Structure 1
Amino acid sequence: MSDSETGLPDSFKLTRARKLAGTVAQVLRTEGVEDFQTTACDELDLIFEGIPGDRHSGFTRLSGGREPWYPRGTEMVNERQISILSVEELAEIAKLMELEDLKPEWIGANIVIEGLPRLTLIPPRTRLVFEGGAVIRVDGDNAPCRVAGRAIAENVPGRGGLDLLFPQKARRLRGLVGFVEKPGVIKAGEGMTAHIPEQWIYDPGA
């Protein structure tokens, strides 16, 4: 049977769409296509390709280890133009890794948000609408990897094994990746709103 109001089978639990507000704490970009770590800047000028000149800009990208269903190096759409992290989750990762601090630039952040609870668990299709007019569409969470772990190790001398520890401790805390839905300029200190869509757990047997 289906619920007459939602149109969903009775066994599907619907979570209504909602809006949550946050603040841009910091904006960053790479200095070139060879760089992984980012540098703080005054503003991000987003175009449809992403951040001009940034390592992850472009309409397309080449597949890697995250896409085992394609041969490595296959050209595919670039849904990973922008990396979005959380002030609160960075602090949580640092605590779990027993670090005094975990700076967002070490792990390639482009935008750092403050005030959005459990940022990494925000679902795909969420629209991040920034006060200046730019909109980023969330593709999904960004799984932590050893590349970021090695970058942390470079900045924390004397601690061995951080490249492996980061993927273990940062799971579901490493932030989001997304693409530019509407170009615009994003600056630190401006407000933003996450427009979270309706959600349900897909159960093909329901």
Structure 2
Amino acid sequence: MTADLFGRETTDDLEIEPARKVRGLVSRVYATPDPDDFQTRWTAALKLGFEGIAGDRHAGFTRKSGGREPWYARGTEMCNERQISIVSLEELAAIAEAMDVERVDAGWIGANVLTEGLPRLTLLPPRTRMVFAGGVVLRVDGDNSPCRIAGGAIAAQYPDREGLDLMFARLARRQRGLVAYVERPGVIRPGEEVVAHVPEHWLYR
């Protein structure tokens, strides 16, 4: 921050990234009808309401706080900003390479939307609007921190390897994808275009 002639702080030295659009495609969509099932399975279409995916473990207008929200007592009812999990083909390939495994499947780690062609998906800033050709709009809350539950699902696919659960939590940082909530409901289908409307943003110091 700098100061003007009267000593008031100004933002003249603020580095502002302008708003822009980034285009990609939906590779696959995933869901599970079992609210107790962490893993998802690919499906022909993903139907979304304002509450998310009906029957999904992350569906609902509210959710219970957990380890990701240490500022609340565990189990506190709060707004559900984690209705949808979005990952990218490119980042999953990079994670698999870093872990030295054949592949990391989006369904293993509970993803709902697999994209391709959106560079550095996980680094898209909060408030980004993911606009799908079919009419659905998802609002990004932020990146999805990798955890041992997802790492354990990957480890189960490679029983001859040890420590993959912890390795995923360490190596997948800033590449594990995004969490979002439904701003406009509808249906997402594989093959349709998705446009990330990245808002003007800056680094707060």
**Match of 2:184?**
182
- 1:150 alignment partner AA: G
CA distance in 2, matches of 1:37, 1:148: 9
Q: Are the counterparts in 2 of residues 31 and 39 from structure 1 also a CA contact under 8 Å? A: no
**Match of 2:7?**
none
- Secondary structure, aligned partner of 2:140: strand
- Secondary structure, aligned partner of 1:88: helix
- 1:188 alignment partner AA: P
- Give TM-score scaled by structure 2 length: 0.95
- Secondary structure, aligned partner of 1:179: strand
CA distance in 2, matches of 1:30, 1:147: 17
1:66 aligns with 2:59: no
Q: Are the counterparts in 2 of residues 127 and 194 from structure 1 also a CA contact under 8 Å? A: yes
Counting only pairs closer than 5 Å after superposition, residues 156-171 of structure 1 correspond to structure 2 as: 156-171=158-173
**Match of 1:42?**
44
CA distance in 2, matches of 1:61, 1:42: 27
CA distance in 1, matches of 2:40, 2:158: 16
Counting only pairs closer than 5 Å after superposition, residues 1-206 of structure 1 correspond to structure 2 as: 9-203=11-205
CA distance in 2, matches of 1:146, 1:48: 29
Give the superposition deviation at 1:31.
2.9
**RMSD after superposition:** 1.4
Give the superposition deviation at 1:146.
0.3
- 1:52 alignment partner AA: A
Runs (5+) with no aligned partner, structure 2: 5-9
Q: Per-residue CA shift, 1:48-92, capped at 9, x if unaligned?
A: 000111110000000000000000000000000000000000000
Give the superposition deviation at 1:122.
0.2
Give the superposition deviation at 1:201.
1.0
- Secondary structure, aligned partner of 1:106: coil
Q: Are the counterparts in 2 of residues 45 and 186 from structure 1 also a CA contact under 8 Å? A: yes
CA distance in 1, matches of 2:204, 2:90: 30
- Give TM-score scaled by structure 1 length: 0.94
Give the superposition deviation at 1:2.
7.8
Q: Are the counterparts in 2 of residues 38 and 106 from structure 1 also a CA contact under 8 Å? A: yes
CA distance in 2, matches of 1:2, 1:144: 41
CA distance in 2, matches of 1:31, 1:96: 32
Equivalent pairs counted in the alignment come to: 200
CA distance in 2, matches of 1:112, 1:136: 14
- Secondary structure, aligned partner of 2:63: strand
Q: Per-residue CA shift, 1:136-173, capped at 9, x if unaligned?
A: 00000000000001111111121111111001100000
- Secondary structure, aligned partner of 1:104: coil
Structure 1 runs of 4+ aligned residues shifted over 3 Å read none
> CA 1:42–1:59 in structure 2 vs 1: closer, same or farther (change >3 Å)?
same
Runs (5+) with no aligned partner, structure 1: none
CA distance in 2, matches of 1:177, 1:156: 26
